[in-house]
Amino acid sequence: MENFKKVSASKITLSELMLPSHSNFSGKIHGGYILSLMDQIAFASASKYSGKYCVTASVDTVDFLNPIEVGELVTLKASVNYVGKTSMVVGIRVTSENIQTGKVKHCNSSYFTMVAKDNSGNSVPVPTLILSNPEEVRRFYESVRRMNSKKEYKAIENTFDYSSAEALKNLEAFNVKLEL
């Protein structure tokens, strides 16, 4: 009998007040600390959905859009956007709120690929994803688009000759000096 679950079975929200101990040398919240929180919520979302221990296989693009200040309330929201046979793409949105003014900022969004494991460390199947609304369908297809783009880029990268005359000539467009 096949196992099915809705996206709602994976939804997790995590909120944390940012403390001075989370800040970097410029007084903003350290990006590494936010990445750690993102990894935690990706694990929680994927594990809740699959019912299995999950590991991070990859992280797809983390663009820090707005700095987070000490004293702000950071909220991370995560849900499974896509499932394969043993893997899941967990979408994460990070916002921060100035608790004195109520102003909310979108700080970043990212996509973590998580893999379900058994007690021996072997990859195991995850439930089939039930998409229940147009937003879930959009997120699913966006995950497919990102995966296809990665595959296309890798195919080009694997066949590209970095030492060809054309490749070396193209370096002139960048801020590099070639001394071969």
Rg of the chain on CA atoms, in Å = 20
Do the Cβ atoms of 48 and 12 come closer than 8 Å?
A: yes
pLDDT value at position 2? 62
Residue 149 maps to a domain: no
Q: Does 86 score more than 90 pLDDT?
A: yes
Full-model pTM? 0.90
Q: Can you tell me whether residue 123 is helix, strand or coil?
A: strand
* Tokens 């379900």 belong to residue: 116
Give how many domains the chain has, as a whole number. 1
Taken as a whole, the chain contains a residue count of 180
Residue 121 structural domain: 4-130
Q: To the nearest whole percent, how much of the chain has pLDDT over 90?
A: 83
pLDDT tens-digit readout, 49-75:
999 999 999 999 899 999 999 999 999
Assign residue 12 the CATH number of its domain.
3.10.129.10
Residue 165 maps to a domain: no
